[in-house]
Amino acid sequence: MNCQEMNPLLHAYVDGELDLMRSLDVEGHLKTCAACTAARRSLQSLHSTLRHSDLSYSAPVSLRNRILAEVSNKPGETRTRKSAPWLWQWLAVGALGFAALTVMLRPGGTSNQDRLADEAISSHVRSLMPGHLTDVVSSDQHTVKPWFNGKIDFAPTVKDFATNGFPLIGGRLDYLNDHPVAALIYKRNQHTINVFVWPAAHIESGIIQTRGYNVINEDVNGLQYSIVSDLNRNELSDFARLLQQ
């Protein structure tokens, strides 16, 4: 099984919807493919976030009782004609609400830069969950950089900026912008900084402030850097300049 064959199966595997043979095929591929393993971990984190979010809504008991009362009455042509419009109205309201929620969660017309920033923030937030921040823990750049060998098809530049107040913590594999990426983790006091690195065509540089986070995109020598943190704009900009040196 290759990555192309794996892609349509990964969601079903994470949801536990595959049969035994397909699951074994997927697990065999995951043991040898770092990119698909990172994609699986990202999906699992997303599922966990959604499962524990406040997006679900439980109907009040009064509504449940009202519906039960409507459908439990004696069946008859007269009653059916009377109750049907009420039920269709509720269904129409529910469909409209779902459509509105979909539009709010997936707004249209966003730029590539905004979409990338939103995706980078989501990956940053997932990384802060217990056990997700690092695959290799080290402040030694000569330990972190070789760890990526054979796991991605490019060599990220890894530096420790402890003397500047931004110590290197480690690294991990992640999945961003439809690509496996290297994620380098730094600290600034109690603030975590994720630096996502991958080879890419030029993407507009700049800083975006959204959802309480700052995102800086930089194109340095053919590598795209997406820097994410809740650190204030000035200090994160200072850190970005260190990366560019």
Output phi, psi for 94, to 5 deg: -65, -40
Q: Which CATH number is correct for 112-244, 3.20.20.150, 3.30.200.100, 3.30.420.40, 3.40.50.261?
A: 3.30.200.100
Residue 193 neighbours by CB under 8 Å, 6+ apart: 166, 185, 186, 187, 227, 228, 229, 231, 236, 239
Single pTM value for the model:
0.59
| List of E strands, the chain | 136-137, 168-176, 179-188, 191-199, 206-210, 213-220, 223-229
Is residue 223 within 8 Å of 156, Cβ to Cβ? yes
Per-residue pLDDT of the chain (245 residues; tens, 9 = 90+): 777 777 778 778 877 777 777 777 888 888 888 777 887 787 777 766 666 555 556 667 777 777 877 776 655 544 444 445 555 566 666 666 665 555 455 444 457 778 888 889 999 999 998 888 999 999 999 999 999 999 999 999 999 999 999 999 999 999 887 788 999 999 999 999 999 999 976 667 789 998 899 999 988 888 899 999 999 999 999 999 999 88
Neighbours of 224 (CB within 10 A): 22
